[in-house]
Structure formats: structure tokens, C-alpha cells
Amino acid sequence: MRFPGHDDRAWHVAWNPTRSILASCSADKTVRLYTYTSSASEPNTLKFNYNTTIPTGHTKTVRAIAWSPSGKTLATASFDANIGIWEQEDSGEDGEKGEWECMSLLEGHETECKSIAYSSTGTLLASCSRDKTVWIWEVHPDADFECMGVLMEHSQDVKCVAWHPKEEILASASYDDTIKLYLDDPSDDWFCAATLSGHGSTVWTLAWEPEQGQYLASGSDDHTIRIWRRLPGQGELKFQCIAVLEGHDRSVYSISWTKAPPYVSQQAAADGQRNLGWIASTGGDGTIFVWELTLGDNEDAPHIRHSIITRIDAAHGVHDLNSIVWCPRPGMEGTFATAGDDGHMKVWKVQRTEEVGK
């Protein structure tokens, strides 16, 4: 499925976690919103409709977007160094849908803002920039934000921020080839608790294993994806690289991790393994991979196995793909969206026959 696209490169897509809205952002400085419905007669098919365009007012590329867990707020990160906070006005009595309004503009970064993410509870927002910093903002009512910390740990451009799915742990990835993890010291400030080295070039993208957050995946300019396992230990953070996924032959720009549909997990359990879900990845080679991860039942010596269950070449024709995101909503397992240099967004579904429909 494909939609009328942006006028310029599409950088990022984001599924609203509670409402049937999919958003994309672009170098054309806008955000486009699409709504979707599933029909009762064809439960496997989603019907998408273009909803609206938010002009944003950003003076440069809108690089990344993030929905709050409530699905009410959308945050935009722009190369103009600012972050926009957007909410939809209540619909009027005539039933007309409300416009998307800029509730707040967060200024602080000195140069391009590259990524933005809400924590799992929605109380914290993280952002990062070419200015080498990661900012943590506390979300207050009425679109009020307070800066809780400016982390200056990376020696270069910070490309991506990602919150742990359950705990208040933040991960950041950088042009300095490392990943850093941060914790909040209750009696003091946020601090860097771990640095993960191993990638041979820029780390572009991060994704936590969504169920327990025991694993972190990272995608890099070195064409690989690494899987890091959190080692047990009270009050400290330690990670170990336990797998390197090779398949892409250009930069990996985006990865997304989802739990597998029930039929997959059940089959794994029947085989004495634990399914760790699916990772979708894409990048400069224009190819999409979906990797299935399983763990042997020996928890003491965890051995993670990965296999490619789907490969789609030239997913956006000759163009690079910049973003790939699984739909997080229940009942939508196996559905993901991509955005590419062609300005388009596409939605895909991994079918049970392991055949992907467009």
C-alpha cells in the first residue's frame, strides 16, 4: 500500500499508539497524517486515507516525529534545532475535526535535532542533536516542559535516542560509533551508566526488545545490526554484544523490534525455544529484512539465533529507505510502515505464509 507522498525525502514514520493514525515527516518541512480502517469482510486488509498535512512552521527539514504513549501529542524534531509539540484541537459542535496546533516549541539544541522519543509512561521526552548533546525533558500538564538534564557524553553528532520499554533507561547512538545508556540518579542528575562499543562506524538507529527490554539492537553505517544483552546486576548497567546480523550492503538507517504474532511464539515454545520477536531493518541499500530472533532454553548460556524470514529488495524502487516502524497496536502484529527518499510512505504486512503483501 502506497500513499500520495511528500514533496521531498521522507525521513521518518510513526504509528499513533492509541488511534488509527500514521504520521510521516519530511525534508519538505511538513508532517502528513493518514487514518486507516480495517474492514470486517477482509480483516487482513487496511484501508488508508490521507487525513491532513501539518505545515509545522519549522524552517528546515522535519527529521523525526514521536507520539506520546497517550496518542494525544505529537513531537517533531527539526534541523532548525527546535522541537515542536502538537495537539489536536477538540472537535467543534458541528463535528468537524480539530486542527493540529503547536502547543509548545522547545528550544535548546544549538544545531540540527535528529531524534526524539517519549518514555514508556510519557512523563519524559528525550532529544538529541548534532551539537553532541542529549536532552531529557520532563513533561508537565498543558504542554509545559522542564529540562531535567543535558548529557554531553558523546564526542560527535547524536543520531538516535530510544527509551527502555519499561524502565527509565535511555539509550543514545552516535556518529562517534558508540551507544550510551543513561540512568537517573534520584539524589542527583542523569548520568551515563554504560558505553557500548563495537560498531565500526556511525550508529544510526536503536530498538529495544519490546517485552522485557532485556536486549537492545543497534543499526550502523558498518552495514550490520548488533544485538546487545543486558547482564544481570543490581543498580548497574552492563551489556554484552551477543549477535551481529549481516545482510545489508549499505548503511542501516532504521530498525524496529516487535513481538511476534502468537502463532510464531507458540511454535517456538513447542520447539523448546523462546521467541524474542521480529526485527525489521532497512537502509541505504533499499532492502527490507525481517529477522526472527529465538533464544535457546538454556538461560545460563544464552545463545540467540537469528534467521531472515522476509527480504524485500528495492522496496521503494531505486531509493534509500530512511525509516521502518512496526505498528505497536494490538491486533496489528506483523504490519510495518516505511519511508524513503522518494518522499513516499508504504505499509507492509508479514503474512502467515511468510509472504509479504503490499
Partner 1 sequence: MEVFNPNPTVFAPTKSHRVAQFAKPHSLWLNDADSDQEGEYEDESNEVEAIDQDEIFELIRSISDPEHRSMSLEQLAVVSAPQITFDLKFPDRVTVEFTPTVPHCGMSTFIGLSIRVRLLRSLPERYKIDIKVKPGSHQSEHALNKQLNDKERVAAALENPALLEVLEQCLSTASLNA
175: contact with partner 1 by CB under 8 A: yes
265: contact with partner 1 by CB under 8 A: no
Span from 57-65, 183-191, 228-236, 296-304 in contact with partner 1 (CB under 8 A): 57-65
- CA-to-CA distance for 329 and 34, rounded, in angstroms? 16
Residues 223-252 that bind partner 1 (CB under 8 A): 250-251
Cell numbers at 176, concatenated: 562517534
Residue whose CB is less far from partner 1, 160 or 280: 160
The residue among 306, 350, 307 whose CA lies nearest residue 326 is: 350
Backbone dihedral angles phi then psi of residue 176, each to the nearest 5 degrees: -85, 10
Per-residue b or e along 169-196, where b marks 16 or more CB atoms closer than 10 Å to that residue's CB: bbbbbbbbbbbbbbbbeeeeebebbbeb
User: CA dist 213 to 99, 208, 209, 216, 277, Å?
Assistant: 36, 6, 5, 7, 12
Residue whose CB is less far from partner 1, 55 or 272: 55
Which of 19, 259, 319, 329 is in the footprint of partner 1 by CB under 8 A?
319
Residue whose CB is less far from partner 1, 149 or 284: 284
**Half-sphere exposure of residue 37: CA atoms within 13 angstroms, side-chain side:** 6
Size of the site for partner 1 (CB under 8 A): 22
Residue whose CB is less far from partner 1, 276 or 312: 312
Which of 159, 226, 229, 230 is in the footprint of partner 1 by CB under 8 A?
159
What DSSP line would sit under 186-216, residue for residue?
Answer: TTS-EEEEEEE---SS-EEEEEE-TTT--EE
306: contact with partner 1 by CB under 8 A: no
Which of 32, 130, 132, 306 is in the footprint of partner 1 by CB under 8 A?
130
Q: Write the single-letter amino acid at 153.
A: E
Interface contacts to partner 1, rule CB under 8 A? 9, 27, 60-61, 63, 79, 111-112, 114, 130, 157, 159, 175, 201-202, 221, 250-251, 284, 318-320
